[in-house]
Chain A
Amino acid sequence: MSDLSTFREETRSWLEANCPESMRTPIRSFEDIYNGGRNPEVSHPDQKVWCDRMAERGWTVPEWPSQYGGGGLSKDEAKILREEMARIGARSPLDSFGISMLGPALLKFGNEEQKMEHLPPIVRGEIRWCQGYSEPNAGSDLASLATKADDKGDHYIVNGQKIWTSYANKADWIFCLVRTDNSGSKHEGISFVLFDMATPGVTTRPIKLISGSSPFCETFFDDVVVLKKNLVGEEGKGWTIAKYLLTHEREMISSFGAAGGKKTLGQRAAEVLGTDASGRLKRGTLRATIAQYQLDTMAFAATMNRVKDEAKAGQGLGPASSIFKYYGTELNKRRNELLLSVDGEQALGWDGEEYQEGEIARAWLRSKGNSIEGGTSEVQLNIVAKRVLGLPDA
């Protein structure tokens, strides 16, 4: 028997023995997703049990090296683990920015001491992280950020404000861009630092959106002490790390565009609005708009697959990947607008029995943010024009 089939067999029996029944049911809402942290929020006590059991083997992050608490699995083994989890419908034991964002950055740019200090608690779900990037006056122009870190020998004193900090009010630590130098170009003098959100001088305030409550916060720093050992990479070179992480973030956001239920929007429209004798949707102009949306969705999905196949074939991430964030989020906005056209005022209900807490309306409003967060559509087009098409700066 090959090593991989032994691994599969052992994994299967371990999962059977250790995955609680309650963690084999589908995720119904955000509350069912376990984010860990010092004060974990759970919708079921088994969430923590499941996370702890998986973390013990490093399987909350199967492919991270085992010296940092990860599973140390090969790509093939990790794939088998995913397949075996899917086989019994096991939920992901832990989702966090530590896993998806900070971890990859630390593995690439952090020193050994930082990796040893921060990666294992991420694996175990003990520390929940948030990302301090945007500021009130540094959105699309992120590099103009002004949160200041003054050098005090063995530590910095940080003053300033961040905005759009997801889950800042629930996070234990923050990875944060600060300005350590004002003398050079705006891209220089940015540093990437880590600190505890419980440090005196840190306060947060949740932001309410047009779609209702949100995970976003404003975050304020008032004479916050940050030890220099928590500087990642070189002082003044944080922009490189920031860009690396933004690429990650954009990949995550662009996948929203591929979302869709079992029924296509066109089929749903046919059910809700009816068809003529030839089976065509009664509202002809809406039909054409939906068809155009469906067609673009199909071509976009084909493009995601093509880029995956090209990467697998060792051709690297071609220029096509630069359009994902832009195109995916614009598609998602189109989809949400079309849902209003199909469902009418039923989709605009906000509160009341018939409106399921305004689910459709809130999703529609929230989708407007997709083409803003993580780099606006306009910034994405600037990047394509300059880096891919080679057009010059103004």
Chain B
Amino acid sequence: MSLVLNEEEIMLRDSAAGFLAEHANVDAFRKHRDNPPPAGFDSSLWSSIAEMGWCGIAIDEEHGGLGYGYTGLGLIIEQMGRNLTVSPFNSTVLMAATAIAQFGTADQKAAWLPKIASGEVVVSFAIQEGGIFDLDTLKQSVTENAGQAHLAVQKRQVLDAIAADAFVVVAKDTQGYQAFILESDQVSVQDQSMVDARRSATVTIDTTVNPDQRMDAEALNQGGLERALDIMNIGLAAELLGVSAEAFELTVGYLRERKQFGKVIGSFQGLQHRAADLFAELELCKSIVLQGLRAIDAGDDLSVIASGAKAKLAQISQRATNEGIQMHGGIGMTDEYDIGFFIKRARVAEHTLGDFHYHLDRFAAQGGY
């Protein structure tokens, strides 16, 4: 496994960085926050993202994608993190498409993946039930009656639900997990927004499921769910890397400019050492995220690296954004400055599919202690 980007990957990263810095930057995010569009995202931006092929980058060619793999997907998400880009990329491309690819039936893959790859549809991924993500807390909500499944459950933190054409729902029955692809008229959406100005709904479901909506339970229960969640968490770690790196660079830039006591505050050793230590941690973050992305594409077991990457990025994104505000001083607390946007996005992305403690615990358990 090579932990260096090849030329093609560098080009992809740079073109994503260039596009997002122009069309979906932090100023665009501020406008979005101040005047949220009804769908929860800017649909012309979403079309552009689809036109560039990003939606299908990790979808195989057989299903209308580019078959380029998750390293490419991660490089794009990292840049979205840097720019605080709002779009259904996480819900639809990182989460729903990954879930369908891992435990969808052949028919479902043929039906949904090409539409996701072309950007025609928004698909939400619904799994969490409590106020905090924990797989162990899912309750039995699937009952079987004469071969037909009935699902009655309330799902939390369903991203982009208000705009979704379909929902991939993971639930529990008496045996293990069951998953379904539901139509939007089978669910009731209570739209809400989070501290990061992203839409995240509570979705109430009480519906009989058509047989062709049932996903591949065998694949789901024999490692498919775990692998899908691992891929999603590595993707979220990539976004957190972008958020953290940008917050850090903003902060170091400020340290070079701001004067107090007649000196640039970046000349004070108390601040220099904290910044240098954070730099070291961010270098570790870059490595572990890249290792995680490469591991996905290599088909390696992901349980240790995924929880490791998510825990590490959760922790360092906390530090980078907390230090960002502290080192900006009073203006760091004002809404007018951008640094506050980064701490908000960092915490929501951390908590999506398991926070620092959840993943550190899993990292240890997978390590045999």
Interface residues of B in 216-272 (CB under 8 A from A): 252, 255-256, 263-264, 266-269, 271-272
Contact A279–B368 (Cβ < 8 Å) = yes
B80 → chain A closest CB, angstroms: 22
Alpha-carbon distance between A394 and B272 when the two chains are bound, in angstroms: 10
A385 is an interface residue with CB less than 8 A from chain B: yes
The answer to whether A287 touches B364, judged by C-beta atoms less than 8 angstroms apart, is yes
Q: Which residue of A lies closest to B10 (CB)?
A: A315
Q: Does B288 contact A (CB under 8 A)?
A: yes
Q: Tell which of A90-98, A222-230, A291-299 binds the partner.
A: A291-299
Q: Are B264 and A392 in contact (CB under 8 A)?
A: yes
Residues of the B chain whose Cβ atoms lie less than 8 Å from the Cβ of A384: 276, 279-280
Nearest A-chain residue to B3, judged by Cβ: A306
Option from B269, B272, B286, B364 in Cβ contact (under 8 Å) with A306: B286
> Would you call A299 and B308 a contact (CB within 8 A)?
yes
Q: Nearest CB to that of B364 among chain A residues?
A: A291
Q: Contact at A281–B287, with CB atoms within 8 Å? A: no
Asked if A309 meets B2 with Cβ closer than 8 Å, knowing A392-B267, A394-B268, the reply is yes
> What band does the interface of chain A fall in when counting residues whose beta carbon is under 8 Å from B?
35 or more
Using Cβ atoms and an 8 Å threshold, which residues of chain B touch A378?
Answer: 273
Is A290 an interface residue, CB under 8 A from the partner?
A: yes
Interface size class of B (residues with CB under 8 A): 35 or more
In the complex, which residues of chain A have a beta carbon less than 8 angstroms from the beta carbon of B86?
none
Q: Is residue A288 within 8 Å, beta carbon to beta carbon, of the partner chain?
A: yes
Q: How far is the CA of A279 from the CA of B252 in the complex (A)?
A: 43
Q: Is chain B's interface secondary structure helix, strand, loop, or mixed overall?
A: helix
Taking a contact as CB atoms closer than 8 A, the residue among A267, A381, A393 that contacts B267 in the complex is: A393
Query: Is A319 interfacial (CB-CB < 8 Å)?
Result: yes
User: Cβ of A298: which chain B residues have Cβ within 8 Å of it?
Assistant: 288, 304, 308
Which A residues lie within 8 Å of B273 (CB)?
A: 378, 381-382, 385
Bound CA span A323–B267, Å? 20
Contact B252 A290, beta carbon cutoff 8 Å = no
Q: Whole-angstrom distance from the CB of B307 to the nearest CB of chain A?
A: 9
A281, B291: Cα distance in complex, Å: 27
Q: For A394, list chain B residues within 8 Å (CB).
A: 263, 267-269
20 inter-chain pairs at a CB distance below 8 angstroms, sorted by A residue, are A266-B369, A267-B367, A302-B3, A302-B291, A303-B287, A305-B287, A312-B4, A320-B287, A381-B272, A382-B276, A385-B266, A385-B269, A385-B275, A385-B276, A388-B276, A389-B272, A390-B252, A391-B255, A391-B267, A392-B256
- Going nearest first, the 4 A-B pairs with the smallest beta carbon separation are A385-B272, A266-B369, A302-B287, A384-B276
